[in-house]
Amino acid sequence: MPYLLISTQIRLEAGPTMVGDEHSDPNLMDFLGARKRNMPGNNFCEYYVNDVPRVVLDKLEKIGYRVVSMTGVGQTLVWCLHRE
């Protein structure tokens, strides 16, 4: 799985950070210390960590991920990362 999206809401830039969906690599989610949850009203699960995005990005860089793009969507910040 070479691509990864992480995100956080602008008002929550101190965490938590969303790091994956229900189909994400379980080994990567373990490495990040992510927990799976299902928010009320959603019909899908997501993985999150309590770390700020900068800490998550630092961890991912150590294992070969690089930021491809970053954007704001409404009140959400999103980073797209890729690993060779």
Domain boundaries defined on the chain: 3-82
CA distance from start to end of the chain = 10
Please give the chain's pLDDT, 84 residues, in tens: 689 999 998 776 677 999 999 899 999 999 999 999 888 887 888 999 999 999 999 999 999 999 999 999 888 999 999 998
Looking at domain 3-82, its CATH class is alpha beta
Residue 77 corresponds to which tokens in the numbers above? 């910040």
Global pTM?
0.86
Instruction: Tell me the Ramachandran region of residue 65: left when phi exceeds 0, alpha when psi lies from -120 to 50, beta otherwise.
Output: beta
